[in-house]
């Protein structure tokens, strides 16, 4: 696994084997956190999930590109730029729209400058987006997950950005984790 910040590698390590999971895709939370505080606090926009490993060149060239949703390998793309409503639209070919939960709402202008988008979703630490189970992501051995984030409480716990994880240890998690 490799972590990039603004298209530059900042960390790497070994990722375990991913198996099929019936857990939903969650943006800003964990499906079953067993009472642990793992909700994200801050802004998230332009969540992308690919069924392959993106190269450093692809990451650098696409990080400020407004995708069409038909790109090869793109299995989830929530821009989070709707500005209103209770649906987070998945513009990828899988079209797994998410539902805003716990009083969640979009904000009109991103408090962080996002080159691609003008809007974002602000997470308060108790709300999240549930995009349901996406079969195209089950058992992927190679995947890439990307998102624009602006954390308000980095380092205070496990801040889940995007997850598809079951209690039996299946799926994936992208999160900020305090040491």
> What's the residue count for the chain?
179
**What are the pLDDT digits (tens) for 37-84?**
678 888 888 899 998 888 888 888 888 888 889 999 999 999 888 878
Which residue did the predictor score with more confidence, 179 or 145?
A: 145
**What are the pLDDT digits (tens) for 96-126?**
999 998 877 777 665 555 555 567 788 888 8
Distance (Å, whole) CA 66 – CA 39: 27
3-state secondary structure of 36: coil
Which residues, at least 6 apart from 7, have a Cβ–Cβ distance to it below 8 Å?
Answer: 56, 59, 60, 63
Distance (Å, whole) CA 11 – CA 137: 24
Band of the pLDDT at 15, cuts 50, 70, 90?
Answer: low
53-62 CB burial, b ≥16 within 10 A, e <16:
ebeeebbeeb
Whole-number pLDDT of residue 33? 56
**What are the pLDDT digits (tens) for 119-169?**
778 888 888 899 988 777 776 777 888 888 888 876 666 678 888 877 666
In this structure, how many other beta carbons lie within 10 angstroms of the beta carbon of residue 44?
25
Whole-number pLDDT of residue 114? 59
Whole-number pLDDT of residue 2? 81
Q: Name residue, tokens 């890439």.
A: 144
pTM of the model: 0.86
Task: Render 82-147 in DSSP notation, one character per residue.
Answer: --SSSEE-B-STT---EEEETT--EESS-SS--SS-S-EEEEESS-EEE----GGGTT-SS-EEEE
């Amino acid at each position: 696994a490799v972590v990039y910040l603004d298209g530059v590698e900042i960390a790497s390590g070994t990722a375990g084997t991913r198996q099929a999971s019936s857990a939903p895709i969650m943006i800003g939370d964990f499906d079953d956190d067993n009472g642990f505080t793992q909700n994200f606090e801050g802004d998230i926009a332009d969540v992308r999930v690919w069924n392959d490993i993106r190269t450093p060149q692809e990451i650098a060239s696409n990080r400020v590109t407004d995708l069409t949703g038909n790109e090869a390998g793109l299995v989830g793309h929530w821009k989070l730029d709707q500005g209103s409503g209770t649906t987070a639209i998945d513009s990828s070919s899988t079209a797994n729209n998410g539902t805003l939960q716990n009083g969640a709402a979009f904000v009109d202008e991103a408090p962080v400058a996002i080159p691609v988008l003008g809007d974002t979703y602000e997470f308060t630490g108790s709300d999240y987006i549930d995009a349901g189970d996406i079969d195209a992501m089950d058992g992927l051995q190679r995947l890439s997950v990307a998102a624009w984030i602006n954390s308000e409480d980095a380092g205070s716990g496990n801040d889940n950005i995007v997850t598809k994880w079951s209690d039996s240890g299946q799926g994936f998690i992208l999160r900020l984790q305090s040491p």
